[in-house]
Amino acid sequence: MAVFTHTVLIASAVILVTIIAITFMNLVLRLFSNASLPPNLPWAGTGEKGSRWARAKANLTGITNLRALLDEGYSKYSKLGQTYVLPYYINGPQIILPNSQIRWLLEQPDTVLSQEKVNRQFLEADYTFLHANLVDGPVHPEIIQHQLTKRLNTFTNDVVEEVNICLEEIWGTDTEEWREVKVYDTMLTLVARLSTRVLVGVPLCRNADFLKACSQFIRKVALTAAAISLFPRFLKPLVGPIFTLYDYIQYQRCSAFLMPTILSRLENLRKYGPQDKAEAPSPNDYIQWAIDHALSKPTINPTELDPRVIACRFSVLAFAAIQSSAITLTNTLFDLAASPSCTGSLARMRDEVLRATTAACPPNTTAAAAPQNQQPWSKTTLPHTDSALRESLRLNGFIERGVMKTVVAPQGVTIPDGSRIPFGTKVGVSGYSIHHDEDIYVDARRYRAFRFVGGVMGEKGEGNGKARGLVATSETFLGFSHGRHACPGRFFAANQLKIALAHIALLYEIEPIPRRPANRWFFGHIAPPMTEVLRVRRRKG
pLDDT in tens, 182-236: 999 999 999 999 999 999 999 999 999 999 999 988 788 888 888 899 899 899 9
Nearest to 20 by CA among 260, 232, 195, 192: 232
pLDDT at residue 307, as a whole number: 93
Buried b (16+ CB within 10 A) or exposed e, 91-119: bbbbbbbbbebbeebbebeeeebbbbbbb
Q: Torsions phi, psi of 406, nearest 5?
A: -110, 140
Contact 541, 388 (CB under 8 A): no
Helices 307-338, 183-199: axis angle to 10 degrees equals 140
Predicted TM-score of the model (pTM)? 0.91
Nearest to 342 by CA among 535, 72, 71: 535
Bridge pairing between strands 426-430 and 94-96: parallel
Domain ranges of the chain: 33-128+400-440, 129-275+302-397+441-475+479-538
Q: What is the Cα gyration radius of the chain?
A: 25
Contact 120, 414 (CB under 8 A): no
Contact 63, 89 (CB under 8 A): yes
Contact 286, 258 (CB under 8 A): no
50: left (phi over 0), alpha (psi -120 to 50) or beta: left
pLDDT at residue 460, as a whole number: 55
pLDDT at residue 378, as a whole number: 56
Q: What is the rounded distance in angstroms from the CA atom of residue 383 to the CA atom of residue 467?
A: 7
DSSP-derived secondary structure for 435-490: HT-TTTBTTTTS--TTTTSTTTTSBTTT-TT----TT--BTTB-BTB-GGGS-TTH
DSSP-derived secondary structure for 401-423: EEEEEEE-STT-EE-TTSPEEPT
Residues 6+ apart with CB under 8 A from 5: none
Residue ranges of the chain whose pLDDT lies below 50: 362-374, 456-457, 461-464
Answer whether the bond into residue 363 is a cis peptide, omega within 30°.
no
Contact 117, 428 (CB under 8 A): no
Contact 512, 337 (CB under 8 A): yes
Residues 6+ apart with CB under 8 A from 71: 433
CATH T-level assignment (fold) for domain 129-275+302-397+441-475+479-538: Cytochrome p450 (1.10.630)
Q: What is the rounded distance in angstroms from the CA atom of residue 147 to the CA atom of residue 150?
A: 6
- Which H or E element spans position 188? helix 183-199
pLDDT at residue 269, as a whole number: 82
pLDDT at residue 359, as a whole number: 54
